[in-house]
Copies of this chain bind each other. A is one copy, B any other.
């Protein structure tokens, strides 16, 4: 397989689909995940292990993980809110589980109905559980610092708290830390500063991933800033599903197609075939015809005479 510079982690089947009213059928989810993996995407967050009564869109997470783990060259990620969810995700065969801890405790209470200490206790229990599994059964365990750049309930969040919680998650057994601009508040300088600070706290090798939203249009600029500070995994959502920028207050993930176009044009290897990826978009749109799918590259098409890497800086 081609060596890649940046890992695109597709979060549409989780973050995208949990944010729209339409419930995509299990078969369509499978088709989407398979087609996107075939376009070269190597990591997909396929679902969330939350109670189906809270998020009916995610009711088939177990089946989807089981299905996806048989797709070659794909890391299957599941979001888990707590120990029970983690246990289920691991039983289903997830390669990686990701637990979000809201730096804004108000948001944590609103979202998971848990204080920081309560979430950290879940993390401890999950680590303990993973520890006693056979090595081949152990998933990667990412602790994700959500609302790390600001919160729609609290406003500004404390950077010291971000650092403290990041360090605590590593102590409790997470394998890596991710940063999330859940609210689309971040800007490139803030991104750079927080990465630098958190690198000092948890070690650069443990801070790999960045999750960005495009709420104020800064998503790709923030992605660029993240790469410049050594981030190697970027989350994004195909067709920006789950947030539509045409509507006030929209808050979608950065768009996979635009992100991949940017990196591909820059000569940053993602392993993804941009043309195949754009075909997946059409397929997914046909599965959810009533939902907005957006993206600039999707609408404008690739440049005439486009060549991968035409913007490589040689100096």
Contacts and interface: CB of A to CB of B under 8 A. Distances in A.
A71 interface: no
A251 to B, nearest CB: 7
Contacts of A307: 156
Interface string A257-285: 01001100111100000000000000000
B155 A305 contact: yes
Interface stretch (A9-17, A113-121, A212-220): A212-220
Contacts of A312: 189, 193
A217 to B, nearest CB: 3
A6 to B, nearest CB: 13
A75 interface: no
Contacts of A217: 220, 255, 258, 261-262, 295-297
A130 interface: no
Given A299-B246, A299-B249, A265 B311 contact: no
A232 interface: no
A230 interface: no
A282 to B, nearest CB: 13
A268 B303 CA distance: 32
A313 B221 CA distance: 16
Given A187-B311, A189-B311, A190-B310, A300 B249 contact: yes
A253 to B, nearest CB: 13
A152 B216 CA distance: 28
A89 interface: no
A187 B262 contact: yes
A264 to B, nearest CB: 9
A265 to B, nearest CB: 4
Contacts of A297: 216-217
Nearest to A228: B228
B184 A300 contact: yes
A313 B189 contact: yes
A155, A187, A248, A299: residue with the most chain B Cβ atoms closer than 10 Å:
A187
A194 to B, nearest CB: 9
B248 A300 contact: yes
Nearest to A152: B304
Contact of A300 (B151, B215, B223, B258): B215
A303 B151 CA distance: 8
Given A218-B220, A224-B225, A250-B299, 17 more contacts: A154-B304, A154-B305, A155-B304, A156-B305, A186-B311, A189-B312, A190-B266, A190-B310, A190-B311, A193-B315, A215-B300, A218-B262, A220-B221, A245-B299, A248-B299, A249-B299, A249-B301
Interface of A: 150-156, 183-193, 196, 214-218, 220-221, 223-225, 245-251, 255, 258, 261-262, 265-268, 294-297, 299-301, 303-307, 310-315
18 contacts: A150-B304, A155-B303, A155-B304, A155-B305, A185-B303, A187-B265, A187-B311, A188-B224, A188-B262, A189-B265, A215-B296, A216-B258, A216-B296, A217-B262, A217-B297, A218-B220, A221-B221, A224-B224
